[in-house]
Amino acid sequence: MTARLVGTDLAVHHGTARALDGVSLELYAGELVALIGPNGSGKSTLLRALLGAQRLTSGSVMLDGAALASIPPRARARTLTMVVEGSPADFAIRVRDLVALGRIPFEGRLGGTSKEDARAVEEAMAMTDVLALADRTIDTLSAGELQRAHLARAFAQKAPIVLLDEPTANLDALHQLEAMALLRGFVGRGGAAIVALHDLSLAARACDRVMVLQRGRVRADGPPADVLVAGLLAEVFEVKARVGRDGAGGIDYVLAVEPLFPREAKEGTPP
């Protein structure tokens, strides 16, 4: 099987700071990959690099066997899209119009909305539970509602590869589970997705692979049961973690119990 998206030896420097250092990744159809790591480990930078939105110091990205940089933006958008956590509501547009932005790569020369576009928008809003919000402007939404609207935009785009940066961060428990179920259904139909997550239990239970970044480098990459172990979590996140197994080789939950190196409480504040 040929990988749909391949990043090879990716390096990104911000001045003298090293955001990514020799990161390689392959993403296959039918695969949901979790990207985890402490704040500042390079997760968002890696996703932007794979999208072509981050200038590389070195390395290359290939999309379906072609150099990503050689693919025109509109053609690239038909195959690859991204959902960013906390995308701002800069314009007071309706939810329906935001979701319809996902159809721009498919517009003809004369523009306009086709029946197929309208159907894709309606289906995406129904999938993400924002159909009732369709005529509200996005500046009136809660953070969680807005995040679901951006997920709907990505699904309306119908790109077979989706990159997601903390898509569950502002969602309540129910919508977190539903969002991951949507991604599982998406890859089950032949899609491919990489999702940056802080919730290690979601990563363990929903994803096929877990890639761990630490200081811009790949610390581990493999099945959740092999990667999400107490020793590695202690080294990478500096926490004592409890990993609950389901008896069939999988993981039920990952719980951070306490920091390994507690910071001293500031003077005058309770411990």
> HEC profile for 210-262?
EEEEECCEEEEEECHHHHCCHHHHHHHHCEEEEEEECCCCCEEEEEEEEECCC
Domain count, the chain: 2
Asked if 151 and 205 sit in the same domain, the reply is no
Looking at residue 266, what is its pLDDT? 47
Asked if 136 and 175 sit in the same domain, the reply is no
Tokens 């970044």, residue located = 213
115 domain residue, yes or no: yes
Asked if 14 and 142 sit in the same domain, the reply is no
Per-residue pLDDT in tens (0 to 9) along the chain, 271 residues:
889 999 999 999 988 889 999 999 999 999 999 999 999 999 999 999 999 999 999 999 999 999 999 999 999 999 999 998 766 556 789 999 999 999 999 876 545 678 899 999 999 999 999 999 999 999 999 988 999 999 999 999 999 999 999 999 889 999 999 999 999 999 999 999 999 999 999 999 999 999 999 999 999 999 999 999 999 999 999 999 999 998 888 999 999 999 998 876 545 555 5
Task: Write the CB contacts of 102 (distance below 8 Å, at least 6 apart in sequence).
Answer: 81, 120, 121, 124, 152, 153, 154, 155, 156, 157, 158
pTM, to two decimals: 0.91
25 domain residue, yes or no: yes
267 domain residue, yes or no: no
Task: Write the CB contacts of 66 (distance below 8 Å, at least 6 apart in sequence).
Answer: none
Tell me the torsion sign for CA atoms 21, 192, 159, 81: negative
Domain hosting 43: range is: 1-79+159-229
Asked if 95 and 65 sit in the same domain, the reply is no
Looking at residue 111, what is its pLDDT? 58
Asked if 72 and 164 sit in the same domain, the reply is yes
194 domain residue, yes or no: yes
Torsion angle defined by CA atoms of residues 81, 79, 176 and 199, in that order, rounded to the nearest 10 degrees = -70
250 domain residue, yes or no: no
